[in-house]
Amino acid sequence: MNLSGAIDVCATEEDIRLWEENDRADILAWVDAIHIGEDHYVYDIWINPKTGDDVVRCPWLRKLPRQNKYICRIQDMKPEHCREYPISREHAENPGCPGFDGTERKKRKLGKEMPKANADPYKTRIEAFFRRGGVTVKKDRTGYSIFSGPRKTPTARLRFTGEKDTVEVLWWSHRNKWESIGDFGGIFLSLDDALKYIDEDPLGCLWLCPF
């Protein structure tokens, strides 16, 4: 089974409280709490506590010996995203879930919509803005990097400032690294204004890769 989709999500505030109330430091060790201003956080999961890198598969999934079957080692504590799996036909078909047909029949019988995944709200806003296609968004501990074109050319970066919904727009400089724009302290905007700034690229330094 392809289980990569099970890890590309964030935990909810309720998930964090559940783990804290049950003293599950072992689970919390795999959570990266990203401060985005005031008392607001995005809880990125699952992050290797030893390396600080995203894992390539769920750390709590175990394959039973000599069986084509997997179990969850935190079944009673798993995050909302996992409890609500699958959230779409594509989500179920990609990993090859054998129970998907039954889930679909049950959904049609009940006439209910599948619940939405607890996706990163900021990443979702960025991806929704650049609906032109050919844009990839990557999150890390300090912000979001935007890449364009088939070669994923670095286009712009949104760096967290610690103030609610305010980011700094960075560009990929001739020194091959993200740097502030201009000589007067950088460009600091709300997320929506920052996305418009990137799209319009008034200085012509961002969209270096043609679509």
Helix-strand-coil percent breakdown of the chain, rounded to 5? Answer: 25, 25, 45
- 156 touches 169 (CB < 8 A): yes
Q: Three-class SS of residue 91?
A: helix
pLDDT tens profile 65-103: 888 888 889 999 998 878 776 656 665 665 555 555 544
Residue 18 token pair: 């559940």
Inter-CA distances, 188 with 113, 119, 121, 135, 140, Å: 39, 25, 20, 22, 19
Segments in the chain below pLDDT 70 = 1-9, 36-39, 85-119, 132-133, 208-211
